[in-house]
Amino acid sequence: MTRTLLTLFLSGALAVPAIAQGAGSNASSSSDTSSTAALEPLPAPRSTNFWDGDDPNLLNLVTHPFANKKYVQRMTRPIKDRLNELDQITASNAAAIKDVDARAQHGLQLASERENLADQHASDAANRAQLAQTAANDTSTRVSGAEQMVGNLDQYRASAQTEIRFRPGQTVLSKQAKDALDEMATPLKDQHSYVIEVRGFSAGSGQAGIAASQKMADSVVRYLVLTHNIPVYRIFTLGMGNAAAPDDASRHGARVEVSLLRNDLQTAQR
């Protein structure tokens, strides 16, 4: 009777760890199947004692519990190592994702800055084009005005004429000469579309006569500019020497002929 009870007790003791070890193997297989394909399978535990496959005997049955601390640590160590490895991979992936995101943000910022710079360049180009168009229009207007002015040059007609007499060898204006110039130049204040032609004549011949006639004409021009503020660009000066006057060959001697010419077309428009 005693032998029968001992046999049943030993059978039950052997069946319990076998069932527990089978359940542990199934759980380990399920964990390996669900893990990442890139990870290697967990190594199978090696048999070191009664609970790992040693021959059963009464001493192992008495001295070993169903699951001791060392057995649990040995069975869970590969799982902990694999979890640590997964944590490292996760941290590495997170760092890589963060780096990629930072580079992407930097690239977007550079693209935005370049886009803004391109827009600014386009705006500057448009402004320059507009300025160039405005300048071209102004130039065209000025050219048209110049063409019209050139075309109207033949519209100048003599409106007044006076003659200034000089003593031989002198270039000083007399009071009578100044009065005649005042009478002609005073109405020209704030006037436009006129020119004054100053021609000097002398009794001498050759270059000396031309130089003397030029000096007398210069004295008339100087008086008109300094006294009446006549613009220099409106005065045309000629030193004729001893050439005879085209309208009256009998006129001769040291003299200066001053003619006021007006543009009839411009006067009519004003």
* pLDDT of 199: 92
Whether residue 85 is contained in a domain is answered as no
Question: Looking at the domain assignment, is residue 141 inside a domain?
Answer: no
User: Model-level pTM?
Assistant: 0.42
48: in domain = yes
Q: What is the CATH number of the domain that holds 162?
A: 3.30.1330.60
CB neighbours of 119 closer than 8 A, spacing ≥ 6?
none
Residue 181 within a domain: yes
Residue type, 103: R
Mean pLDDT of the chain: 75
On the question of pLDDT at 230 being above 70, the answer is yes
Is there a domain that residue 203 lies in? Answer: yes
Residue 14 structural domain? 2-67
**Which residue among 10, 43, 67 closes a domain?**
67
In a domain, 245, yes or no: yes
Residue at a domain's end among 29, 52, 67: 67
**193 and 270 Cβ atoms separated by less than 8 Å:** yes
Q: Which residue has the higher pLDDT, 70 or 267?
A: 70
Could you give phi then psi for residue 174, rounded to 5 degrees?
Answer: -85, 170
Q: Is the pLDDT of residue 40 over 90?
A: no
Do the Cβ atoms of 43 and 78 come closer than 8 Å? yes
Our count of domains for the chain comes to 2
Q: Report whether pLDDT(23) > 70.
A: no
Asked whether residue 147 is assigned to any structural domain, the reply reads: no
Confidence band, pLDDT 50/70/90 cuts, at residue 154:
low
pLDDT of the residue at 244: 66
Coil, strand, or helix at residue 49?
coil
| Residue 227: band (very low, low, confident or very high) from pLDDT cuts 50, 70, 90 | very high
139 lies in a domain?
no
| Residues 162 and 262 reside in one and the same domain | yes
Q: CB of 64 within 8 A of CB of 50?
A: yes
Which pair of structure tokens corresponds to residue 166? 């000089």
Query: If you average pLDDT over each of 13-22, 30-39, 41-50, 169-178, which comes out highest?
Result: 169-178
